Structure 1
């Protein structure tokens, strides 16, 4: 008998969970609210420019994730980026190798999405357990099922209403804190910034500036900048108009970089409502064997993509162990 598992969320956690289950011979189907897979490993094309509005780079702290990055680099999905970094303090210029997706960060998730049945644009609103298994109900009132088990790999706030009837999952989820992050994508037709490629902890408003066009495989002409606001500022401006956010962030960046008066040819602000993990769960995942439902995400362990990868793997192993 082939066991079938529904996975909600096609970010790195959901996809690594899917890969783990498929390796155990278990059939999976993934449902993703957005039109693309990868979650915050996102790449947006505006004209001829590629921007990574979410995760900017990857580091491997575990052998397992290191092997994965080496494997996809060998396949051409990733490369090394060693930007000139500015950090607060006198003479703080640092260069260290980071891993980035090629031609964009979304490529990081592409290899583990291959061969997986993913339905995009499907927002799961509720779960219902019937005699033959779990059924998923979508925003358009359609449904899918039955499934023997369900893996929920979305931000904690989105997972909470799906698990509200499973106290073993819902109660710990209430302790997770996720914070918003405004991301601004800017195109300058000519190079205007300093010799640095990355700026961190710029001010109370801006925490990150990156010249994405210096990443491997990008168009080096002009400037393609990604700016991340601080969590505190993003929280205060959570309901602000994106155009107003763009103007304020760009004004802050221009003042910090001492730029001459320049008007970007393109400027787009995007809010990651669950962009930063303020307080993690402290466990790799949660799984309820009585209901065969579990949750995973970077927020289980921290803020990095590796945390999502590890969390999804562990949830997949827990489900596989229960079903096989």
Structure 2
């Protein structure tokens, strides 16, 4: 409820910012509706409408158009303007949603769209605050609300322990049922991108879904506790942040695409393998140029160990190969040891890398 109220108040502020006139005086303004989600298939979305000058819409519609396809897993937001729908990607490009067309926008029009999208993202995501700060706000025995960014499901927890991260438990039997619903009815070690709300303050975080250890809340039907990680958190076994939790925290803060844009070829392959381990097909596809993945990848249940052979075999500034020694488990629990070769390409030396092929 607090998050809905926050979104409502921000919507009012945005309308005041972009449309100073009172609603009765807003005649002649055009409405732009922007929607943001953590992935195109997510049920949980944040949507806000903005009023803008008719000249903005006119110049948008009049922009030069070229034949182009949007990468379906590289979508940042969707826009609706005069009942026409558009897709805005993480490279700042605008596409028609129903035709293979890209709009070559004037700089000021593109900047205004960027402002709209960033405002909605500020509602949808949360900041990745360091654990050293979070643990003072989300102290032991404090209560919080967990919001799953894929489904929008939310449940209540209490922090009971944890020094390197938060050890928490669902408050009630209903909270436990909601958490298990998020994991399709089965407990799992897989990480998920979440928001954690403590007294009206939201944090980007990551959780797994496996009860373990001791539990102390009677009647919640949760056999133990589970872990929530924040920026800079680590597991009990290692001091460094867990790569999977780190990836999900980047998703929850809306910073994952930016990190991928600035990643080296080796780092991008690391994102691919982490997402493959977490069975996050959307993030896996984000690292690629959209090519059809090898069918055998669907048999990978978890990646136990990967070692990237550095330096990568660069064939020039626009093409690179990354070789990886990999140990993984299949869905029938067989262990495999293989070497995979990733081929990556970028359009110019200052563009982002994209995986274009994988030799298994």
TM interval, short-chain normalised: under 0.3
Q: What TM-score does the superposition give when structure 2 sets the normalisation length?
A: 0.22
Bigger Rg over Cα: 2
Q: What TM-score does the superposition give when structure 1 sets the normalisation length?
A: 0.24
